[in-house]
Chain A
Amino acid sequence: MEYLLHILILICIYVILSASLNLLAGYAGLLSIAHAAFYGVGAYVVAVMALNWHTPWWVNVVCAVVLSGLLGALVGVPSLRIRDDYFVIATFAFQVIAFSVLNNWVSLTGGPMGLPGIPHPVILGWQVSTHLEFLLLVGFFCALTLWVCHRIVRSPFGRVLKAVREDEVFAQAAGKNVAAHKMLVFVIGAGMAAVAGAMYAHYISFIDPTSFTVMESIFILSIVIIGGAGSLWGPVLGTVVLVTLPELLRFVGLPSSVAANVRQMLYGGLLVAFMMWRPQGFLGQYSFEKGSGRE
């Protein structure tokens, strides 16, 4: 039972991550492999603040979101001037730099040793410590994230995002401030990822940089793509598939030494397969081909 709750908690965390990346990559067409950096910043800000300053839990989360949002804006700047595939390289660079900072700024982040003993969040006197309680907390944020994404996507703002994705020139000629929209999406996506990081930090109570590498970014991106970029439920489906499938394999008797490798091969392989045969994923609307008149 505890195990099932654990899986559900992980699913909620990854739904937040993939839904936020979906906003960026699936709706606005801004493909990024820096998402784990925002995830990591969220986790570390919360951890550092909780461990050093003992500030209330929600204050930490707000700070994490703000800081991550600023970082998101920073990552968004190159997207205004650089073409999509080169932009992916730029996000890769950001991701590596972020990881380096987390790994090497030992006095702040504990370096490769990480930060252990992150306290449980305390909400209005109630300490969140059991799996069920965590599930409620994370589940709440997961639902909140999905709701926010839903509102955004269904609004005229969301329509502009899709226009930016398909044909920026058309969007500009229609009077849309494309740059501002891109920056805003980055800030929001980054902020949401930070929330996921905060949840992760409190739940596992220990974080280290290895959870926030380029591979993690690629994993989140795979979830978005396989679930279906540009669809609201795509991230949910993708998360369920990519988080539970490796766990199922474990039941089939896969030795734990290769479990991590198999998990990665799974999402890598699915990524290739989907790109070859169904780039819009299971439920998606967007298949990473430019819609109209790009050239």
Chain B
Amino acid sequence: MQVALNALVSSSVILLVGAGFALIFTTTRFFHFAHGAIFALGAYSLFLLQVWCGQPTPIALVLAVVLAAGFGCAVELAVYRPLRTKGASPLVLLLASLGLYVVLQNALAMTFGDETKSVRSSVVTEGLDVLGGYVTPVQVATICTSAVLVAVLAVFLKCTKMGKAVRAVADDAELAKISGIASDRVILAVFAIGSALAGVAGVLVAMDVDMIPTMGMTPLMLGVVAVVIGGVDSIPGLALAAVLVGAAQQAGAWWLGSQWQDAIVFAVLLVFLLVRPRGFLGGRLRKASV
């Protein structure tokens, strides 16, 4: 039962990070690795605001998410958009993103130090007993927030004008532009939303298990795994995959020991890439044909 609960918490984080990543990927068609750094930025913004600036928790939480969204937009405006305008290939954008991740992670380390920082003392951490398993209020909040936010995102994409614009750009950026959609603005919005989601995830994880500058890499990759397995274009698919990945991670940890949990998830990813590269998405993984 504990494993299941842990898996649920893990899946929730993965879902948040993955949803943001997928949103950005479908509209811009490249791997925004720096997303992991935005996640960490969200966590450290909370620390900054709460511990260094003494803001009360609710305000700090909101501002931290806003800061994360802001950084995401900054990255888009400063790096990705100029590159896109020059017609850079997805590979070039991926490499730039890798570089950005390294820079941002180290900027965090230099500003806040390499060791673990905590915001936990300001939040109540008494656990709840659920069917024999133990879960803290923060973890419950994580699960609920994730579910709610992603559901809201799904509704947003389906029903609002902006959401439809996002889907149009995701489907076919050229066509969208011709139809009069300002795809640059849509992309900026997508970065804001996606980064905000990452920021939320970062904040929740920070409150659960503290923070360290390297914290972004693993959730990012798990999110990417979920996106690849579950489908870039489908939120239900992503949710399903996030559950699968979280479960695999925790089950692996329980069965083989927590030190192997990442390796197990990545082995699953490799299997998917090789055996079912379509995942639940279309044939985009395959090489371009004649």
A residues touching B (Cβ–Cβ < 8 Å)?
31, 33, 77-78, 81-86, 88-90, 92-94, 96-97, 100-101, 103-104, 168-169, 214-215, 218, 221-222, 225, 258, 261-262, 264-265, 267-273, 275-276, 279, 287-290, 294-295
Q: Which of B1-37 contact A (CB under 8 A)?
A: 30-31
Return the contact of B98 from the options A84, A101, A271 (Cβ within 8 A): A271
Task: Please name all residues of chain A whose beta carbon is closer than 8 Å to the beta carbon of B91 when the two chains form the complex.
Answer: 31, 84-85, 88, 288-289
Contact in complex: A287, B92 (CB < 8 Å): yes
What are 29 A-B pairs at a CB distance below 8 A? A31-B95, A81-B286, A81-B287, A83-B286, A86-B273, A90-B273, A93-B273, A96-B221, A97-B263, A97-B270, A103-B259, A104-B260, A221-B98, A264-B102, A265-B102, A267-B99, A267-B102, A268-B98, A269-B99, A272-B79, A272-B96, A272-B100, A273-B99, A275-B92, A275-B96, A276-B96, A279-B88, A279-B92, A287-B92
Contact in complex: B259, A261 (CB < 8 Å): no
Taken together as a complex, chains A and B put the C-alpha atoms of A4 and B290 apart, in Å, by: 53
Residues 110-130 of chain B, each 1 if its beta carbon lies under 8 Å from chain A, else 0: 100010000000000000000
A222 with B99, Cβ < 8 A, contacts A90-B270, A103-B259, A265-B106 known:
yes
Task: Please name all residues of chain B whose beta carbon is closer than 8 Å to the beta carbon of A262 when the two chains form the complex.
Answer: 106, 110
Residue of B92, B106, B257, B288 with most chain A CB atoms under a 10 A cut-off: B106
Q: Which chain A residue has the least Cβ–Cβ distance from B109?
A: A261
Main secondary structure of the interface of B (DSSP, over half): helix
Task: Please name all residues of chain B whose beta carbon is closer than 8 Å to the beta carbon of A273 when the two chains form the complex.
Answer: 99
Cβ-based interface call for B266 (8 A): yes
Residue of B96, B98, B107 with most chain A CB atoms under a 10 A cut-off: B98
Taken together as a complex, chains A and B put the C-alpha atoms of A90 and B31 apart, in Å, by: 13
Cβ-based interface call for B285 (8 A): yes
Closest A-B pairs by Cβ, 6 of them: A268-B102, A271-B99, A100-B263, A272-B99, A93-B266, A275-B96
Contact in complex: A81, B83 (CB < 8 Å): no
Task: Please name all residues of chain B whose beta carbon is closer than 8 Å to the beta carbon of A82 when the two chains form the complex.
Answer: 273-274, 277, 285-287
Residues 263-290 of chain B, each 1 if its beta carbon lies under 8 Å from chain A, else 0: 1001101100110010000001111101
Task: Please name all residues of chain B whose beta carbon is closer than 8 Å to the beta carbon of A289 when the two chains form the complex.
Answer: 88-89, 91-92
Taken together as a complex, chains A and B put the C-alpha atoms of A169 and B288 apart, in Å, by: 9
Taken together as a complex, chains A and B put the C-alpha atoms of A276 and B286 apart, in Å, by: 27
Residues 215-229 of chain B, each 1 if its beta carbon lies under 8 Å from chain A, else 0: 001000100100010
Residue of A222, A225, A265 with most chain B CB atoms under a 10 A cut-off: A265
Task: Please name all residues of chain B whose beta carbon is closer than 8 Å to the beta carbon of A85 when the two chains form the complex.
Answer: 30-31, 90-91, 94
Cβ-based interface call for B39 (8 A): no
Cβ-based interface call for B210 (8 A): no
Q: Which chain A residue has the least Cβ–Cβ distance from B104?
A: A268
A78 with B96, Cβ < 8 A, contacts A265-B103, A265-B106 known:
no
Taken together as a complex, chains A and B put the C-alpha atoms of A189 and B105 apart, in Å, by: 29
Cβ-based interface call for B262 (8 A): yes
Taken together as a complex, chains A and B put the C-alpha atoms of A81 and B286 apart, in Å, by: 6
Contact in complex: A268, B100 (CB < 8 Å): yes
Task: Please name all residues of chain B whose beta carbon is closer than 8 Å to the beta carbon of A264 when the two chains form the complex.
Answer: 102-103, 105-106
Contact in complex: A272, B103 (CB < 8 Å): yes
Taken together as a complex, chains A and B put the C-alpha atoms of A103 and B228 apart, in Å, by: 26
Task: Please name all residues of chain A whose beta carbon is closer than 8 Å to the beta carbon of B92 when the two chains form the complex.
Answer: 275, 279, 287-289
Contact in complex: B96, A271 (CB < 8 Å): yes
Q: Which chain B residue has the least Cβ–Cβ distance from A92?
A: B221
Contact in complex: B31, A78 (CB < 8 Å): no
Taken together as a complex, chains A and B put the C-alpha atoms of A110 and B182 apart, in Å, by: 56
Taken together as a complex, chains A and B put the C-alpha atoms of A215 and B106 apart, in Å, by: 11
Return the contact of A78 from the options B93, B114, B273 (Cβ within 8 A): B273
Taken together as a complex, chains A and B put the C-alpha atoms of A1 and B225 apart, in Å, by: 48
Task: Please name all residues of chain A whose beta carbon is closer than 8 Å to the beta carbon of B217 when the two chains form the complex.
Answer: 214
A97 with B267, Cβ < 8 A, contacts A85-B30, A265-B106 known:
yes
Return the contact of B263 from the options A31, A96, A222, A225 (Cβ within 8 A): A96
Distance (whole angstroms) from the CB of A24 to the closest CB of chain B: 14
Contact in complex: B89, A290 (CB < 8 Å): yes
Task: Please name all residues of chain A whose beta carbon is closer than 8 Å to the beta carbon of B99 when the two chains form the complex.
Answer: 222, 267-273, 275
Q: Which of B124-163 contact A (CB under 8 A)?
A: none
Residues 234-258 of chain B, each 1 if its beta carbon lies under 8 Å from chain A, else 0: 0000000000000000000000010
Q: Which chain B residue has the least Cβ–Cβ distance from A112?
A: B259
Task: Please name all residues of chain B whose beta carbon is closer than 8 Å to the beta carbon of A92 when the two chains form the complex.
Answer: 221, 266
Task: Please name all residues of chain B whose beta carbon is closer than 8 Å to the beta carbon of A89 when the two chains form the complex.
Answer: 31, 224, 228, 269, 273
Distance (whole angstroms) from the CB of A214 to the closest CB of chain B: 7
